[in-house]
Structure 1
């Protein structure tokens, strides 16, 4: 298993010295052997899409800090691990530190949890020198996707459990398409994408330093908005709200363009640093929030399976159980391919 990196050797040594460590920056040799019979030391990391926010029950029910990561006991790392075990590929899961709300820089900085629930350590702490596989996804929160949603929805600007603020509360939600395609709104979005690209590069470098023999797998996001946005003008079966609530119809293609741009940025960052990428966007076009009974994404204001203080929390456009299973299937297939090459 060979991975390449765009970072020169001198740069990697300088990075290692800056971190103050002494691990060797070894690159694993190529191998054509089958997936190892021994369990593969594995660390999962990521944000709410890896934690699978909205699916109950939640891990760490008796830990008020980790509870507010809203990490489902049956998140896709857990389901993918079982799928692989059924095929004879055993993962020794050292840790799953995925946490709702995580920014990319929470990979190396502690994360402040909502509701004053304290902090959780930097996710890189899950990586050990003997870790052989690091899997997860980050990027949407650094991009500020919640702020984009709130810029486009008056309902989401009302007091809610969805974190974040609109980019410009003085600009009407109904004009969000114009806001983001010109002037300050466009500049804000471009700056966010630059931050995503820079932060992903640093995250991969830290992974290589902390776990020099680990295969790194970055997991993209499932598609939220279909190509045919007319499907979003009908509530899902059993629902009264539209899948994207009051977000204007003309803003839906824009949301899809932003998500595709994020997916492409993540894919490029992985390729540039010799990591692998799980492309969910291209494989979930028929399971968007607007695909009715086939939806793999819960609608913005559709009730999830999660309750907080006896109040049901909406999905806020996160994968439901069907979407989680699609994530697990694609991730398991990628892990098996990586370990077998």
Structure 2
């Protein structure tokens, strides 16, 4: 009984010494910091190079200190720090490098022609554009879609050289025509030449029309009105004037309507000539001062109202008469 009491006293005494009554415990706290570094790599070259995966390096914020606990001190065993899972960072694969197509020059086929024609040189192929790799987006937990394939331009195919057309040979020049044979000389006649034909005097007066005493019979005479307007000879004419108008044919035969460039006066030879008109036993002397465009005969005359009355004619009609150049 006594032994049990001693053992119990020692046991409770050791518990009393070891119990942490109003004591300060020394506790060590560990923190683990994970720093993620994202590395971007842009590849310019022939072969793609994958970017290295980022590594997470835990850096302890405080080093564990080693202490030796003395007798009777309370020591708490530190718990092992649990590292958080490191996120996998995947970098997008770089697009394949662009390889331009090989240029094949056209094969020219020589063609023998009389005139050489230069073969047009095909235009050089345009330089391909180097595609620029897009900057990769920041890495995340999800895997990005693969980049689209690089653009490959179609191969350039030059058009075939045109075949020159043959040049035709020039046509031979025609042979000169033979010179015509000279015409034979007319035979010489020993007979005397026949006398030239001589027209009668009246025909001669018709040809000239200006010979004094020339008479023209069986001609038409008509009457026309004069209202003060100037006639073909440039003078103002009235109904009571004793004047006549010569036919267009005779007027044009003597040169037509001509005028002096300085004075403006009419220069036709018929202007101012005196004529005697005979009809049915009566006659009247009148002056040619106009032309008659409506007269059909070569030497028909158109009389004024005054000359028409002087012949004793009252009606307006067409009559046959004769006249003589004075």
Q: Which has the higher contact order (CA 8 A, sep 6+)?
A: 1
Which structure is higher in helix share?
1
When normalised by structure 1's length, the TM-score is: 0.16
Q: Structure 1 or 2: larger strand share?
A: 2
Larger Rg: 2
